């Protein structure tokens, strides 16, 4: 479990500030962090992963302050997939996924049988098994994203933090990706997804938190968070709030403003 308390973060030379009084991430649940550009979603996720130290406030991982835990120990509990997933070298998918076992290996980084087994399982769960010998340059954007996810899954984390994981995927792959995440949640993993796609978050996440301009506007079930009042406040009149035809979960559609298009 990750617990954040009284978090305040600012960047040098900027008036923008992230202010989150309380926030926690639990196992076996999927949570979405939504909000417009510049609302602080990625910053909050990076603070939760211990990658960014907040200016004020504390982050605890399983009861211990995250600053006091070694990076290797954090990596055994938290898997973090950043928005940018580039590699300077053209590794094979298998090499990349095996790197995910780093925190579990000893001084010389030698992989044991269990590491090979977990690597194989991570490749299988992301549907990358057949592409394991391909180089990253030979993959499409979506395949590359899945390869990096597989390397994060190979860490065998308890909590998975994903920053815009579906941004480069087509709608079919996005649906597949979220089903994959639901499968991981069923296995007991806690998943947090930062996404611009409010509709996917509404459909697949049990809990949402809505950020705007560094502040937590609302948190709770999708029905509660994606309300007409909040949507109007944050996105203005350009968005229509509807509901999904199958699940009746809140659904956003763009409004065609004829006058402005002329």
Partner 1 sequence: MNKKAFFVYALLFFMVGVISPWVGPEYITPFDVFSTDSPTITPAQEIFIFQRIPRVLLALIAGGTLALTGAVFQTLFRNPLVEPFTLGISGSSALGAFVTILYPSLWLKWGPFSSVQLFAALGAGICLFLIYTLSNRAEGVSIYTLLLAGVTISIICSGAILLLTYLSDPHSLVVFQHWMMGGIDVIGYKSLFSMSPLLVPAAAVLFFHSKELNHMALNDEMAVGHGVDIKKIRRNVFIGGGVAAASVVSVVGPIGFVGLLVPHAVRYLSGYDQRTVLPCSFFLGGAALALCDAAARTVIAPTELPVGIITAVIGGPLFIRLLISRRLQKL
N- to C-terminal Cα separation, the chain = 52
Residue 102 in contact with partner 1, rule: CB under 8 A: yes
Contact flag: residue 90 with partner 1 (CB under 8 A)? yes
Answer yes or no whether residue 235 interacts with partner 1 by CB under 8 A.
no
* Contacting residues for 161 by C-beta, under 8 A, at least 6 apart: 25, 45, 48, 49, 78, 79, 80, 81, 192
Shorter beta-carbon distance to partner 1: residue 99 or 175: 99
Q: Which of 132, 175, 181, 124 is nearest to 157 (CA)?
A: 181
Q: How far is the CB of 115 from partner 1 (least distance, A)?
A: 13
Between 37 and 89, name the residue whose CB sits nearer to partner 1: 89
**Residues 125-154: x/- map of binding to partner 1 (CB under 8 A)?**
------------x----------x--xx--
- Do the strands 207-212 and 215-220 form a parallel or antiparallel pair, or are they unpaired? antiparallel
Report the distance separating Cα 211 and Cα 205, nearest Å. 16
Question: 16: which 2 tokens?
Answer: 């923008």
Among 6, 21, 67, 109, binds partner 1 (CB under 8 A): 109
Of 46 and 173, the one with the shorter C-beta distance to partner 1 is 46
| CA angle (169 as vertex; 78, 130 as ends), nearest 5 | 75
Among 10, 103, 168, 215, binds partner 1 (CB under 8 A): 103
DSSP of 230-253, one letter per residue? Answer: HHHHHHGGGEEEEE-TTT--EEEE
Binds partner 1 (CB under 8 A): choice among 39, 43, 48, 85: 85
> Which residues of the chain form contacts with partner 1 (CB under 8 A)?
46, 49, 51, 70-76, 78-82, 84-92, 95, 99-100, 102-103, 105, 108-109, 137, 148, 151-152, 155
């Amino acid at each position: 479990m990750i617990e954040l308390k009284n978090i305040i973060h600012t960047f040098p030379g900027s008036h923008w500030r992230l202010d989150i009084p309380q926030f926690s991430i639990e196992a076996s649940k999927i949570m979405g962090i939504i909000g417009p550009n510049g609302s602080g979603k990625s910053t909050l996720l990076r603070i939760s992963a211990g990658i960014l130290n907040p200016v004020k406030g504390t982050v605890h991982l399983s009861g211990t302050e995250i600053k006091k835990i070694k990076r290797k120990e954090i990596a055994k509990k938290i898997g973090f997939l950043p928005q940018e997933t580039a590699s300077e070298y053209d590794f094979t998918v298998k090499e990349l996924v095996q790197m995910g076992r780093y925190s579990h290996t000893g001084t010389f980084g030698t992989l044991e049988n269990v590491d090979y087994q977990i690597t194989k399982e991570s490749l299988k769960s992301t549907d990358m098994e057949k592409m394991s010998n391909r180089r990253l340059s030979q993959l499409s954007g979506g395949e590359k994203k899945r390869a990096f996810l597989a390397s994060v899954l190979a860490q065998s984390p308890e909590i998975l933090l994903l920053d815009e994981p579906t941004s480069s995927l087509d709608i079919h792959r996005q649906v597949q990706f979220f089903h994959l995440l639901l499968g991981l949640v069923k296995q007991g993993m806690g998943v947090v997804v930062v996404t611009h796609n409010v509709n996917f978050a509404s459909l697949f996440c049990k809990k949402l938190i809505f950020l705007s301009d560094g502040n937590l506007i609302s948190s709770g079930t999708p029905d509660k968070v994606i309300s007409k009042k909040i949507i109007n406040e944050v996105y203005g009149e350009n968005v229509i709030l509807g509901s999904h035809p199958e699940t009746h979960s809140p659904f956003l559609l763009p409004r065609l403003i004829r006058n402005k298009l002329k």
